[in-house]
Amino acid sequence: MKKVLPKNNKFNTKILTMDLETIIINNIHTPYLLSWFDGLKTRSYFIYNLDLDNLENNILNMIKNAITDICTRKYKNYRIYLHNFSKFGGYFLLK
């Protein structure tokens, strides 16, 4: 017999997860991919051309595009979980 738990109306399921991947270029961790998932859809932002002359602008544009996409009315009151944000990923997003 399967036990049915009572519904908890206070549990917030509005969660968005985000992760940042890097590659080592000249002994420096360099972001090239930022992805997020809202429970239904996934969005990924890539830097295909790791041209060193425009790399910083490409990284900023990648982050700006992701943040712009999640700063919409649809995601109001969502909690965002950023993988390894306190140690590694946060450095790139806060910079």
Residues 29 and 13: beta-carbon distance below 8 Å: no
Q: What is the DSSP letter of 63?
A: H
Q: Whole-angstrom Cα distance, residue 23 to residue 50?
A: 10
- Structural domain for 82, as ranges: 15-94
Considering its fold, how many domains does the chain have in total?
A: 1
Give the global pTM.
0.72
**pLDDT at residue number 38:** 93
Return the percentage of the chain with pLDDT > 90, whole number. 33
Could you tell me if residue 83 is inside a domain? yes
Could you tell me if residue 10 is inside a domain? no
Return the percentage of the chain with pLDDT > 70, whole number. 84
Could you tell me if residue 1 is inside a domain? no
Q: Whole-angstrom Cα distance, residue 63 to residue 38?
A: 17
Q: For the segment 51-91, what is each residue's pLDDT rounded down to a tens digit?
A: 788 888 998 899 899 999 999 999 998 988 887 766 565 66
**pLDDT at residue number 66:** 93
Q: Whole-angstrom Cα distance, residue 49 to residue 32?
A: 9
